[in-house]
Amino acid sequence: MAYDANSLESHWMPFSANRDFKKNPRMVVKSDGMYMWDYKGGQIIDGSSALFCTPAGHGRREIAEAVYKQMLENDYTPHFQLGHPGSFDLAERVCRLLPDDFNHVFFTNSGSESIETAIKVILAYQRARGEAQRNRLISRERAYHGVNMGGVSLAGMVRNRETFGLTLPNISLIRHTWQEDQRFSKGQPKTGAELAMDLERIAENLGGSTLAAVFIEPVAGSTGTLVPPVGYLEKVREICDKHGLILVFDEVITGFGRMGTPFATQKFNVKPDIITMAKALTNGAIPMGGVAVTDEIYDTITNSAPDNAIEFFHGYTYSAHPAACAAGIATQKIYQDEGLFENAAALEDYFLDAMWTLQDHPLVADIRGIGMMAGIEVHSDGAPGRRGGNMQKAMFWNGLHIKWTGDNAIVAPAFVAERHHIDEIVDKFRKTLDQAL
């Protein structure tokens, strides 16, 4: 399928080098299973599940048909004081994948909205339990929590904040967990658990009773797959309990099987109080996110309001849109019927071993990975991110889609992948590295 080369100016593309892209557009016109096709007919294997969104592969008819049917039946019901059955069905399915006391999901339209919603849930909860002075949030360096003002204020990626200057007050960052001695360690690094003590130091310096919550990506995704050291998440949980903080796991990437378990909470056996999600909730087919909370949080907020009153003054016009719910239900059925989380677990060793074959390449500076997610870092060419940006483009024309952030490639294939797909991803990755020598 062609496109109109004169039609490119109007769309201001997100997180993109607009001027550069428009000179030689990487225009995708079709996707199916593990592949996408560009407008010239080139076939591209999807090594990052698009943006970590499509564990069931592209072009799933079951999802398309469910959305189509829903749109004909009931295209849109707002959720403010009204409802439709799909949202309740989907919320129940999501809760079944979560630890026992997570029985409530608030729907949003993206990961960023999930983070903003979680911030508000936290502040409302602290107020409802008589602890309104707990208004400080903690996050980590090299975190990514989306692009809205709360998420940008929390996140530790400098380029996403320095342009804008203004951020929310009362936020402290603790260190990220990557250390030099972890280079090329597969799975959870053995060193670094003590970095959790940064949280204890903040509590000691500012007073534990002023702290509301800490936001953690169990595996920091967008900054290149930083895997938590053995014992780190347990230590964070312990410090949260000691000082009365809410622990948020931002599972926008790790949720829905990426770790070979339904969520990362099961992989690492550490239970947070709030879990944010998006992306694979609908296999990426329709925008949707969610915030799951424990009974304690839901009950405290809802019971603090008078009978018949709105309990939580927050929501989006498109929260739990019927089309998104239909996509979500169809997606969850696929995950279950095809045992895709189990597939991910079964592929993990093969996938990680394949990624580690790249460690001999002179351009490769580090490899990290766990579950169906690996970060491959290349040596900088002097300008941070330039080599990574060039790699992403070259890979595309070599028939491989990989999401890069700076000089870090984030490889995260769909769980419908077979071994030969993993091999193809690695071959094309190496070929592109070789061309850059």
Residues that bind ligand PLP (CB under 6 A): 110-112, 115, 144-146, 217, 221-222, 250, 252-253, 278
Q: Which is nearer to ligand PLP, 115 or 326 (CB)?
A: 115
Rounded to the nearest whole angstrom, what is the least distance from the CB of residue 284 to ligand PLP in the complex?
10
Classify the phi-psi angles of 238: left when phi > 0, otherwise alpha if psi is within -120 to 50, otherwise beta. Answer: alpha
Q: Which is nearer to ligand PLP, 252 or 285 (CB)?
A: 252
Long-range contacts, 67-76 (Cβ 8 Å, 24+): 67/285, 67/286, 67/323, 67/326, 67/327, 67/330, 69/326, 70/322, 70/323, 70/325, 70/326, 71/322, 71/323, 74/322, 75/322, 75/323, 76/321, 76/322, 76/323
Rounded to the nearest whole angstrom, what is the least distance from the CB of residue 220 to ligand PLP in the complex?
8
For 286, the 3-state DSSP assignment is coil
Q: Which is nearer to ligand PLP, 221 or 399 (CB)?
A: 221
Rounded to the nearest whole angstrom, what is the least distance from the CB of residue 286 to ligand PLP in the complex?
12
Q: Which is nearer to ligand PLP, 228 or 399 (CB)?
A: 228
Rounded to the nearest whole angstrom, what is the least distance from the CB of residue 148 to ligand PLP in the complex?
8
What is the Cα–Cα distance from 176 to 227, expressed in whole angstroms? 10
What is the Cα–Cα distance from 67 to 60, expressed in whole angstroms? 11
Q: Which is nearer to ligand PLP, 163 or 205 (CB)?
A: 163
Quick check: 94 and 268 in contact, CB under 8 A? no
What is the Cα–Cα distance from 28 to 30, expressed in whole angstroms? 6
N- to C-terminal Cα separation, the chain? 34
For 416, the 3-state DSSP assignment is coil
Rounded to the nearest whole angstrom, what is the least distance from the CB of residue 279 to ligand PLP in the complex?
6
Residue 36: phi and psi, rounded to 5, are: -130, 160
* Closest residue to ligand PLP, based on beta-carbon distance: 111
For 37, 47, 110, 281, 293, the CA distances from 146, given in Å and listed in that order, are 28, 22, 9, 16, 19
Rounded to the nearest whole angstrom, what is the least distance from the CB of residue 222 to ligand PLP in the complex?
5
Q: Which is nearer to ligand PLP, 192 or 221 (CB)?
A: 221
Q: Which is nearer to ligand PLP, 193 or 281 (CB)?
A: 281
Rounded to the nearest whole angstrom, what is the least distance from the CB of residue 250 to ligand PLP in the complex?
4
Q: Which is nearer to ligand PLP, 110 or 261 (CB)?
A: 110
Of 96, 55, 2, the closest CA to residue 334 belongs to: 55
Rounded to the nearest whole angstrom, what is the least distance from the CB of residue 278 to ligand PLP in the complex?
5
Quick check: 368 and 353 in contact, CB under 8 A? no
